[in-house]
């Protein structure tokens, strides 16, 4: 039988464009120290460590699990690495949760990070093997055509993407850890920003960040010993599909629909928009908010943008999305998925600070990666299931 | 499995990037000291001295206190001979990779030893550092180690740049890319100015370029299909962004093109009109160049109805 598991503590760095004052190990340790302190623990209390980061060319570090053993206090303990492209942070949280749910370990540290300042992700994503057409242009070049397809399919007005950017950046200004602090951003500024990958503008795109995130996940006895509120993990789910296959729906991927169907079933949720109080969703380009609202079943296909346009995804709306500012405000790629999971936990712990959604009791954490082919999600709540 | 009738196509793939590393407080001290021709170690909670220093104690996971000088001479703990040095290695002549325990340290440091010949190398050999003349705060400030008993080297203070807590890690990867049989079939078709695909025997979908296997069903694909050089732009973006190593100069239209008769779109360039004129549903045809299809251009036909390509997005 599955054991109850809960998030006991959350830690993250202040995300920035450059953290040249620390090594990668130092950056990770900062988040780990904050997470164990938040849980009222020390690294010595941790039974196992699970780490995740973006693909190796992103920062040129192979086998980070060897390099980080000392920094994470993992010497003599199990140390695992998870690897699912951009969704890796979410998958790292889910793997750590499974080690507790399975009764293997009592307290597990999950950690993910990225130092984008040491590398160039767009270069790493645009390697052209021989005999292939060199039209690739990073993640933006990959996702922009799918965004255009969404706009055509849904009939969404053209300003929806800019609305999401304004909302997420203003939310980010409420979050002291967010990279971009743009509390005064306006729709006009977003719409006047340069067109990078038409139809995606500069202000509708995530930044490049250095940052790390860590969570401590423990079993029910560990949760009982925690000094503060915990976030109970009601359900976890992961799915994948090929990057490209005939019939793949790039706008509304089947793997995402299957993943969330399993998640809601496990969590006993039948009416997501009314049962989920807040969602932290992986939105690296602003238009992905309405796209994922549909993929996740918060809105019918073609209707997600209406929630955004009506302000229902802002704090105080029917389904607040990314009160932390989301990936649009901070994007340490490897950590971005775990940040979604961690921020969803903070909400149900009531520790969201200025970006707390009042009364949040059940929250969704979501991440996706690759060519919309890896999905990882969890539901956390203020009470156990 | 039978041998393919034609040898597979192969071509080099060279990837390189200079990663910039911030060293953090401990390794910054270690590197800055190297520029001053000093080697530092760290004492752990168990009393052992680690050189190079640890960032976090492997026993307690705590950062070290003050670093302490070790060496500069040391003893070879173990070694391996490098008979044919590779580009970028510390020495251009045959040398030893050695684990060297510096005097005063309990752990070993990996570096090169210029011993002249493998016969001169042995575990227990006493070695000393040979410093680089121009030092920048890098492990390369030690050019290599050399046997301590050799002729004394002139004491050249050289130059030392102020270390800034950063170092560059160049990564150079050299692959030989071999085309799969499916890819080779497609490429040989291009050489004859034909667009060839394959149909999956399970789902019946036509893939171009062919994969050799169906990504949805996981079965080999054998049935060959020749496709029209005309197709439809299902969706696209206009790339205005540059990046290192980019081979097409922005702005350009990166389009998903569904060839007539195919069941999956592929990415290609659309030229022959202003980027602002490209639209979903635009009908295009392949334009042949020296290496297959150089790009697609409008073929003058009326736009395809949305319903005809909607399910391929």
Q: Do A135 and B254 touch (CB under 8 A)?
A: yes
A72 close to B (CB below 8 A): yes
In a domain, A43, yes or no: yes
Give mean pLDDT, residues A356-368. Answer: 98
* CB pair distance less than 8 Å for B237 and A25: no
Interface contact flag, A145 B235, Cβ < 8 Å:
yes
Q: Is A307 helix (H, G, I), strand (E, B) or coil?
A: helix
Identify the band that residue B5 occupies on the pLDDT scale cut at 50, 70 and 90. Answer: low
List the end-to-end C-alpha distance of chain A, in Å, as a whole number.
14
A120: pLDDT strictly greater than 90: no
A contact residues 189-228, partner B, Cβ 8 Å cutoff: 194-200
CB contact A120 to B (< 8 Å): yes
User: Which pLDDT score is estimated for B156?
Assistant: 67
Note whether A254 contacts B: Cβ–Cβ < 8 A.
Answer: no
DSSP string, chain B: -PPPSSPPPEEEEEEEEEEEEE-HHHHHHHHHHHHTT-EEEEE-TTSPEESSPPSS-TTT-PPPSS-EEE-SSEEEEEEEEESSPPTTSS-SS-EEEEEEEETT-SS-EEEEE--SSGGG--TT-EEEEEE-SEE-SSGGGEEEEEETTSPPPP----EEPPP-SEEEEEEEEEEEEE--HHHHHHHHHHHTT-EEEEE-TTT-PEESS--SB-TTT--B--EEEEE-SEEEEEEEEEE----TT-SSPSSEEEEEEEETT-SS-EEEEE-SS-GGG--TT-EEEEEEETTEEEEEEE-SPPPPPHHHHGGG-
Model pLDDT for residues B194-227, shown as the tens digit of each residue: 999 999 999 999 999 998 999 999 999 999 999 9
Residue of chain A whose Cα is closest to the Cα of B11: A130
Determine the Cα–Cα distance for residues A59 and A61; give it in Å rounded to an integer.
Answer: 6
Selecting from B58, B240, B293 the residue whose C-beta is nearest the C-beta of A196 gives B240
Three-class SS state of A230: coil
Q: How distant is the Cα of B150 from the closest Cα of chain A, in angstroms?
A: 36
ipTM of the complex: 0.91
DSSP for A77-90? S-EEEE-BTBTHHH
Cβ within 8 Å of residue A296, ≥6 positions away: A256, A260, A272, A279, A281, A364, A366
A246 vs B243: CB contact, 8 Å cut-off?
Answer: no
Helices (H) and strands (E) in chain A, counts: 14, 11
Range of the domain at A32: 5-120+208-225
How much is the pLDDT for A131? 76
A136/B267 CB distance under 8 A: yes
| Neighboring chain B residues of A248 at a CB cutoff of 8 Å | 264
> Given the structure tokens 């997420």, which residue do they identify?
A168
Residue labelled with tokens 């440091």: B109
* pTM summary value: 0.95
pLDDT in tens, B99-117: 999 999 999 999 999 999 9
Q: Is the pLDDT of residue B4 over 60?
A: no
The alpha carbon of residue A242 is apart from the nearest alpha carbon of chain B, in Å, by 7
Cβ atoms of B232 and B264 closer than 8 Å: no
A145–B236 CB contact, under 8 Å: yes
| pLDDT tens-digit series, residues A45-103 | 999 999 999 888 988 888 888 889 999 999 999 999 999 999 999 999 999 999 999 99
Alpha carbon distance B238, A136 (integer Å): 11
CA distances from A146 to A72, A372, B273, B312 (A): 39, 10, 22, 11
Work out the minimum CA distance from A372 to partner chain B, whole angstroms: 13
Average pLDDT value for residue range B166-190: 89
- Average confidence (pLDDT) over B63-72: 96
Rg of chain A taking only CA atoms, in angstroms: 19
Residue B179 with chain A: CB contacts under 8 Å: 130-131
Q: How close B22 gets to chain A, by Cα (Å)?
A: 5
Could you give the C-alpha distances from A254 to A249, A257, B220, in angstroms and in order? 7, 5, 23
CA proximity to A97, closest of A379, A382, A370: A379
Question: pLDDT band for position A368 (50/70/90)?
Answer: very high
pLDDT of B8 above 90 = no
pLDDT at residue A379 in the model: 98
Measured between CB atoms, which of A119, A138, A245 is closest to B19?
A119
Residue A361, min C-alpha distance to chain B (Å)? 36
Q: Does A77 touch chain B (CB under 8 A)?
A: no
Smallest Cα distance from A18 to chain B, Å:
10
pLDDT greater than 80 at residue A136? no
Q: Tell me which chain B residue has its CA closest to the CA of residue A137.
A: B239
In terms of phi and psi (left: phi > 0; alpha: psi -120 to 50; beta: otherwise), the region of A137 is: beta
Those residues with Cβ within 8 angstroms of residue A376's Cβ, 6 or more apart along the chain or in another chain: A84, A87, A90, A91, A93, A94, A236, A237, A238, A259, A337, A366, A367, A368
Radius of gyration for the alpha carbons in chain B, expressed in angstroms and rounded:
30
Q: Are B279 and B261 in contact (CB under 8 A)?
A: no
- Of B9, B169, B205, Cβ closest to residue A246: B205
Alpha carbon A382 to its chain's center: 20
Q: Which residues of A touch B255 (CB under 8 A)?
A: 145
Is some CB atom of chain B closer than 8 A to the CB atom of A43?
Answer: yes
Q: Tell me phi and psi for residue A371, to 5 degrees.
A: -85, 65
Residue A243 to residue A358: CA distance in whole angstroms: 39
Of B55, B244, B310, the CB nearest to A25: B55
User: Quick check: A69 contacting B, CB < 8 Å?
Assistant: yes
- Concatenated DSSP letters of B29-51: HHHHHHHTT-EEEEE-TTSPEES
CATH (domain of A17): 3.40.47.10
CB contact under 8 A, B245 and A126: yes
Which positions in chain A touch B176 (Cβ < 8 Å)? none
Residue B152: pLDDT band with limits 50, 70, 90: low
- Quote the distance between the C-alpha of residue A39 and its chain's center: 21
Provide, rounded to the nearest whole percent, the portion of chain B with pLDDT above 70.
96
Asked if A60 is an interface residue toward chain B (Cβ–Cβ < 8 A), one would say yes
Across B58-63, average pLDDT: 95
Listed residue (A342, A356, A326, A365) closest to A32, CA to CA: A342
Mean predicted confidence (pLDDT) in A219-241 = 97
Residue B268 predicted with pLDDT over 70 = yes
Is the Cβ–Cβ distance between B50 and B67 less than 8 Å? Answer: no
Tell me the β-bridge partners of A210.
Answer: A16, A115
In angstroms, rounded to a whole number, what is the distance separating the alpha carbons of residues A130 and A98?
Answer: 41
Which residues contact residue B274 at a Cβ distance below 8 angstroms, ignoring those fewer than 6 apart? none
What's the mean pLDDT in A320-346?
98
CB atoms B22 and A71 under 8 Å: no
Between CA A155 and CA A361 the distance in angstroms is 34
Q: Would you call A122 and B179 a contact, using CB atoms and an 8 Å cutoff?
A: no
Per the structure, the count of domains in chain A is 1
Task: Report the pLDDT value the prediction gives residue B2, as an integer from 0 to 100.
Answer: 46
Token representation of residue A329: 């405000």
Contact indicator for B257, B296 with CB cutoff of 8 Å: yes
């Amino acid at each position: 039988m599955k054991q109850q598991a809960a998030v006991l503590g959350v830690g993250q760095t202040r995300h920035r464009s450059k953290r040249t004052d620390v090594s990668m190990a130092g950056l990770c340790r900062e988040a780990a120290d904050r997470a164990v302190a938040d849980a009222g623990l020390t690294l010595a209390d941790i039974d196992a460590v699970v780490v995740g980061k973006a693909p190796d060319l992103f920062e040129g570090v192979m086998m980070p699990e060897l390099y980080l053993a000392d920094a994470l206090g993992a010497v003599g303990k199990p140390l695992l690495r998870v690897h699912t492209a951009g969704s890796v942070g979410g998958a790292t949280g889910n793997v750590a949760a499974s080690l507790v749910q399975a009764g293997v370990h009592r307290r597990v540290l999950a950690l993910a990070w990225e130092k984008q300042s040491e590398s160039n992700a767009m270069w790493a994503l645009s390697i052209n093997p021989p005999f292939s057409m060199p039209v690739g242009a990073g993640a933006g070049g990959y996702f922009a055509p799918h965004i255009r397809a969404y706009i055509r399919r849904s009939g969404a007005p053209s300003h929806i993407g800019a609305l999401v950017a304004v909302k997420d950046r203003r939310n980010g200004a409420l979050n002291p850890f967010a990279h971009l602090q743009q509390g005064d951003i306006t729709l006009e500024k977003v719409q006047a920003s340069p067109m990078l990958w038409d139809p995606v503008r500069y202000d509708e795109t995530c930044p490049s960040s250095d940052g790390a995130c860590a969570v401590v996940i423990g079993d029910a006895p560990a949760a009982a010993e925690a000094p503060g509120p915990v976030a109970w993990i009601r359900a976890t789910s992961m799915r994948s599909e090929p990057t490209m296959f005939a019939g793949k729906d790039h706008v509304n991927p089947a793997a995402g629909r299957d993943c969330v169907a399993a998640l809601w079933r496990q969590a006993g949720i039948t009416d997501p928009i009314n049962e989920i109080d807040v969602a932290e969703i992986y939105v690296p380009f602003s238009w992905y908010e309405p796209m994922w609202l549909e993929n996740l079943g918060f809105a019918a296909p073609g209707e997600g943008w209406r929630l955004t346009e009506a302000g229902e995804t802002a704090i105080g709306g029917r389904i607040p999305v990314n009160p932390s500012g989301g990936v649009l405000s901070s994007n340490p790629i490897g950590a971005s998925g775990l940040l979604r999971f961690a921020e969803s936990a903070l909400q149900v712990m009531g520790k969201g600070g200025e970006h707390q959604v009042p009364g949040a009791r059940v929250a969704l954490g979501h991440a996706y990666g690759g060519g919309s082919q890896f999905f990882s999600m969890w539901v956390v709540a203020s009470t156990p299931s | 499995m039978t041998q393919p009738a034609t040898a597979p196509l192969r071509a080099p793939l060279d990837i390189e990037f200079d990663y910039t590393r911030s060293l953090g407080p401990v390794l910054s001290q270690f590197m800055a000291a190297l520029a001053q021709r000093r080697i530092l170690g760290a004492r752990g909670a168990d009393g052992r001295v680690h050189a190079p220093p640890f960032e976090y104690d492997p026993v307690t996971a705590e950062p070290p206190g003050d670093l302490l000088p070790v060496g500069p001479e040391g003893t070879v703990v173990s070694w391996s001979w490098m008979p044919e040095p590779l580009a970028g290695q510390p020495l251009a002549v045959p040398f030893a990779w050695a684990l060297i325990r510096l005097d005063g340290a309990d752990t070993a440091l990996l570096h090169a030893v210029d011993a002249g010949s493998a016969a001169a190398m042995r575990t227990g050999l006493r070695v000393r550092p040979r410093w680089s003349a121009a030092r920048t705060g890098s492990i390369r400030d030690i050019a290599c180690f050399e046997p301590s008993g050799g002729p004394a080297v002139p004491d050249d203070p050289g130059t030392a740049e102020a270390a800034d807590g950063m170092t560059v890690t160049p990564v150079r990867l050299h692959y030989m890319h071999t085309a799969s049989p499916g890819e080779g079939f497609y490429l040989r078709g291009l050489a004859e100015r034909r667009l060839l695909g394959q149909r999956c025997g399970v789902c019946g979908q036509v893939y171009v370029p062919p994969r050799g296997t169906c990504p949805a069903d996981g079965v080999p694909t054998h049935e060959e299909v020749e496709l029209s050089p005309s197709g439809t732009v299902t969706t696209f973006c206009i790339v205005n962004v540059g990046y290192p190593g980019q081979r097409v100069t922005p702005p350009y239209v990166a389009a998903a093109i569904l060839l007539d008769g195919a069941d999956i779109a592929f990415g290609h360039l659309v030229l022959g009109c202003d980027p602002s004129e490209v639209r979903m549903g635009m009908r295009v045809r392949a334009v042949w160049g020296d290496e297959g299809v150089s790009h697609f251009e409008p073929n003058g036909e009326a736009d395809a109805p949305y319903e005809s390509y909607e399910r391929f997005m």
